[in-house]
Amino acid sequence: MKPTKKPLHLVFGLIFSLPLLAACNSGNLKEAELTNNQQETEELLQSTGLKVSSVEDAALKAEKAIQEGKLDLAQLYYIKAYDLEPNNIEVLQKMADLYSALKKYELVEVSLNLILKQQPNDVKIMEQYGLLQLKQGKYLEAEKKLILIVAKQPSWSAYNGLGIIANLQSDPQKAENFFKQADRLLPNSPELLNNIGFSLYCANKLTEAASYYDKALQINPEFKKAQYNYALLQARSSNYEQAYSAFTSVSSEAEANNNIGYIAMMNGDYLEANHYLQEAIKTAPHYYKKANDNLMRLELLETNQVDKSSL
């Protein structure tokens, strides 16, 4: 007799991982070592034959460098602009945007802190900071900021951030509520529809989840996140052939087989699990260890030596 199916955790073992960015204490731009010193920055600028006459000149040249894809040079221009006028909020905001694009999140944090010192009640900057902390894995700090934001000025991106945090806290009902509030402010967003679907999936509301994935894919048929989540849902529903077809549209055959094998194992469908895990091993040698580890877990489950929840 098969064991009763239970909702899978938000993050499947051996399938997904969520890397967290290192935290960073911030004081000011110099403490964050944007450059060794003003003289070095000046020498670097002069070595390229370029000069800066004012903050406006530096900012214009930074924008031109960004348009040309010369982001390192743009950073130097913005550093020079900051040296000339440290309290220029427009320059600090542009620096934050550039560092965000470069994924230099500790420097984004420094720039936003400098703006908030001058404008502590700036809702837009507070929201940007809260979403930044979410990216950094500082979930409690991000949650506090985003709750304050939606209380002052409802924002779809803040609600979306709160929904993501709720999912990470294994509270899919709370996540669903936040995502739906975001959806009311920004309707027909494939990203939000997918997020609602995933929170429903985590709550084991599979039929409702499927409807939201369908809506997301109707709007954007190439949306890979929704395609992948739809594949997970099909596997969770024991529709393994449909899951395989969906998975292979966004991932390799080996990954598809391994994922389906793992989920089938968690479903208690041991014959199907064995089949797909064996196929993963045959399909790609580098999947041998991962799929073989799952096969070992499957053997233990079949002999009732371990409880499924411990895997």
Measured CA to CA in angstroms, residue 82 lies from 35, 77, 109, 297 at distances of 12, 9, 16, 57
CA atoms within 13 A on the CB side of 67: 6
Query: Residue 17 domain-assigned?
Result: no
Q: What is the CATH number of the domain that holds 272?
A: 1.25.40
81, 91 Cβ separation under 8 angstroms: yes
Are 112 and 48 contained in the same domain?
yes
Query: Residue 216 domain-assigned?
Result: no
Q: Given pLDDT bands bounded at 50, 70 and 90, which one contains residue 16?
A: very low
Evaluate if residue 43 carries a pLDDT over 70: no
Are 184 and 264 contained in the same domain?
no
pLDDT confidence of residue 283: 82
Long-range CB pairs of 245-252, under 8 A, 24+ apart, other chains included:
250/224, 252/283, 252/284
pLDDT confidence of residue 192: 97
Query: Residue 6 domain-assigned?
Result: no
Evaluate if residue 230 carries a pLDDT over 70: yes
Query: Residue 277 domain-assigned?
Result: yes
Are 99 and 168 contained in the same domain?
no
Q: What's the pLDDT tens digit per position in 84-130? A: 999 999 999 999 999 999 999 999 999 999 999 999 999 999 999 99
Q: Which of 46-50, 198-202, 304-308 has the lowest mean pLDDT?
A: 304-308
| Pure H helices in the chain | 38-47, 55-67, 71-84, 89-101, 105-118, 123-135, 139-152, 156-168, 172-185, 190-202, 206-219, 224-236, 240-247, 253-267, 270-283, 288-302
pLDDT confidence of residue 244: 96
Q: What is the CATH number of the domain that holds 187?
A: 1.25.40.10
Q: Which of 21-25, 67-71, 105-109, 210-214 has the lowest mean pLDDT?
A: 21-25
Q: What's the pLDDT tens digit per position in 63-72? A: 999 999 999 8
174, 200 Cβ separation under 8 angstroms: no
| Average confidence score pLDDT of the chain | 83
Are 35 and 91 contained in the same domain?
yes
How many separate domains does the chain show?
3
Higher pLDDT, 15 or 126: 126
pLDDT confidence of residue 12: 31
Are 176 and 247 contained in the same domain?
no
Q: Average pLDDT in the 257-262 region?
A: 93
pLDDT confidence of residue 300: 80
Q: Tell me the residue range of the domain where 77 lies.
A: 27-120
pLDDT confidence of residue 41: 55
pLDDT confidence of residue 234: 96
User: Which pTM was predicted?
Assistant: 0.76
Query: Residue 3 domain-assigned?
Result: no
Evaluate if residue 146 carries a pLDDT over 80: yes
